Amino acid sequence: MGSIRTITANCKDCYKCVRYCPMKAIRVAGGHAEVIDELCVKCGTCVRMCPQGAKQVADSKGAVRELLASHAQVILSVAPSFVASFAGASAVSFAAAARKLGFSEIFETAEAAQYVALRSLEMVDACASPAIATSCPVVVNLVERYYHDLLDHLVPVASPMVTHGRMIKSCRGPEAKVVFAGPCIAKKDEAGRAETSGAIDAVLTFEELRDMFEQAGIDPADCAADSDHPASPGGDPGPGRARLFPIEGGMMATAGVSSDMIGGPDLCVTGMDNVVALLDNLHRQKGVRLVEIMACSGGCVEGPGISSEIDAWSKKRMVMEYAEQTTLGLAEGSLPSPSSELLQVGFSRREVDLPEPTEEDIRAILAKTDKLSPSDELNCGACGYDSCREKAIAVFRGLAEVEMCIPYMRARAESMSNLIINSTPNGIVVVDRDLAIVSVNPAFERIFGVKADDCLGKDIGMLMDPASFEHVLKTREPVRTGESHLGGSLMTSQLLFYVSVRDVVVALVNDVTSDYTRTRAIQKARDETLEKAGRVIDRQMRVAQEIAGLLGETTAETKLLLTQLIRQMQDEELDE
């Protein structure tokens, strides 16, 4: 897992991290931006710039708690910029707070910085000119990954953090555990390098350290020194000007040289844009002996893990004032001077393997967003890349998505919505709060036999009953209704609903005249059929009644005749 991860639930597809990442070490997949660890130089720009807090630095608090809970001796090495991150705490109260957390000893990283500064000046002549100071791990990452031709410009001196860790372990024993606390997230990556392995066991940003204090109920501003750890005597010189290391030009000041930006032999450059520009043109820097480069604008006091809302100038002033103090500050004592071996470090070429597209590949990708000629390339930067071609190359490399072209996607969405609105057989009319017609589609014009130019801005009452519109504006609830228009020659049904973002009512109108006419015709035919059926039934009943009457009379006469005949035949039998 890399040093920076993305919380996908917070990632809102704004591409801001892509826009500001100096090396474009971001992959957008499935609409979410993730940091590619092998391309990342750990400058923390994406962490700083993400408006939703979707970029999260690898958390070391758990690992440090495990160290503190073990039986090992755990020692804290603190960058001098702590005075800007914990502004309410003094050196004494901060050290007391750290001991309450469980650290056995607290030392200032600035103690090693003074040796690093001097050794860097000594090694300048052993490097290609101009030499590049290597205390900033982001600068080392940049050169090792992207500026291989500048590797021999790097001064082979370890950073104050690494040097200090080695100093502590050489004095307290290799079994001692060293935790570094500072404002830099790149230090986490630096501590795990093969070239610096074993010097530092864990790295905390000041933000993480603040969280640990809060979770333990410790206030660094309200911790007094105990009798076992009294405040340092005023006569002890302490690290002195080495505490200036976190501010712009701090290494030069520690070494006692001037970083003259106009004509001196030594330069100081801060801020990723300036750093990249300098490395791109380092071969043009004639007459420059040493370049102190710091990725964060203004120096480490502006690091992404500083955990402070104080302005940059105030933080710089706090560090400068702390550097003027003639006390040990955090530590109860000092460490022996480091040997030259403890100050050494090596660097290596780290390949960034990215496929290169052909011109045909680029043109084919551009064509997917309707960029068929150079004039179609807006180079607006909305996707996070400076040009449409850069974005196309990123798509080829699997770092970006075609859909990241916001102007194209907007045009496509508008084209699609307009196509639907203009093609639907349903009439659409939009009415504002004053019941004035804002928009109509072609189907509405056809249904009501009007032209858009003749009705836009007019009251909806000229065509439809305004009562339904007023009701929806008042209640914001959708309404279904039907109306008769043009003297009954037009019948419509409509669905009205409120659109809050525009404060308008939209009516979807359906011409139901033919359905209404057909229904009336069917009803009329049904009524006529029922009427005819009734007349037939009545006539049949009369016929049945007449037949029944005739049958009744005939039956009676027949009965009478047959009765008389039977009697006559019976009388004749008796006479015989």
Tokens representing 216 are 């333990």
- For the chain, helix (H) and strand (E) counts, in that order, are 21, 16
What integer pLDDT is reported at residue 421 of this predicted model? 86
For residue 235, pLDDT over 60 is answered with no
pLDDT confidence tier of residue 78, bands split at 50, 70 and 90: very high
Angstrom CA distances, 509 to 1, 81, 497, 514, stand at 57, 68, 12, 14
Residue 327's pLDDT band, with cuts at 50, 70 and 90, is: low
Residue 79 predicted with pLDDT over 50: yes
The tens digit of pLDDT for each residue in 422-443 reads 889 899 999 999 999 999 999 9
User: For the chain, what percent of residues have pLDDT higher than 90?
Assistant: 66
Written as one string, the DSSP assignment of 12-48 is -S--HHHHH-TT--EEEETTEEEE-TTT-----HHHH
Residue 143 corresponds to which tokens in the numbers above?
């050169």
pLDDT at residue 227 tops 60: no
Give the type of residue at 186.
Answer: A
Q: What's the chain's average pLDDT?
A: 88
d(CA 264, CA 179): 37
pLDDT score recorded for residue 234: 40
Tokens of 348: 């290596």
**What size, in residues, is the chain?**
576
Q: Give the best-scoring range by mean pLDDT among 84-98, 128-142, 281-295.
A: 128-142
Instruction: Round to whole Å and give the CA distance between 505 and 575.
Output: 112
Top-tier CATH class for 1-55: alpha beta
Strand order through the sheet with 202-205: 105-108, 74-78, 177-182, 202-205
Model pLDDT, residue 239: 78
Whether the Cβ atoms of residue 440 and residue 427 lie closer than 8 Å to each other? yes
Q: Average pLDDT in the 317-328 region? A: 84
**With b meaning 16 or more CB within 10 Å and e meaning fewer, what string describes 26-58?**
bbbeeebbbbbeebbbbbbbbbebbeeebbebb
Report the range out of 135-144, 372-381, 397-406, 563-572 with the highest average pLDDT: 135-144
What does the pLDDT average to over 78-92? 92
pLDDT above 70 coverage of the chain, percent: 90
In terms of pLDDT, which residue wins out, 532 or 55? 55
Q: Determine the pLDDT at residue 15.
A: 93
Q: What is the DSSP string of 225-237?
A: --TTSPPPPTT--
Q: At what angle do helices 110-122 and 160-172 cross, to 10 degrees?
A: 120
Residues of the chain with CATH 3.30.450.20: 424-511
pLDDT score of 81 more than 80: yes
Rounded Cα distance between 493 and 60, Å, is 65
449-486 pLDDT per residue, tens: 999 888 988 999 999 999 999 999 999 999 999 888 76
Within a 13 Å sphere around the CA of 535, how many CA atoms are in the beta-carbon half?
5
CB 398 within 8 A of CB 357: no
Alpha-carbon distance of 546 to 539, in angstroms, equals 11
pLDDT score recorded for residue 272: 96
Instruction: Give me the residues paired with residue 459 across strands.
Output: 436
**In the block, which residue shows the tokens 């093609």?**
423
**Residue range 378-394: average pLDDT?**
94
3-state secondary structure of 385: coil
pLDDT at 292: 94
28 vs 552, more confident: 28
Q: Which fold has domain 424-511?
A: Beta-Lactamase (3.30.450)
User: How would you class 497 by CB atoms within 10 Å of its CB: exposed for 0-12, middle for 13-18, buried for 19 or more?
Assistant: middle
CA distance 135 to 139: 8
pLDDT of res. 160: 97
Chain Cα centroid distance, residue 138: 23
Closest CA relative to residue 342, chosen from 541, 116, 173: 116
CATH 3.30.70.20 residue window(s) in the chain: 1-55
The confidence score (pLDDT) of residue 550 equals 72
- Ramachandran assignment for 179, one of left (phi > 0), alpha (psi -120 to 50 degrees), beta (any other): beta
The stretch 296-308 carries a mean pLDDT of 91
Q: What is the pLDDT of residue 572?
A: 66
CB-CB neighbours of 415 under 10 Å: 10
pLDDT band at 240 (very low <50, low <70, confident <90, very high): confident
| Distance, CA of 370 to CA of 280 (rounded, Å) | 33
Per-residue model confidence as pLDDT tens digits over 245-271: 999 999 998 888 876 555 568 889 999
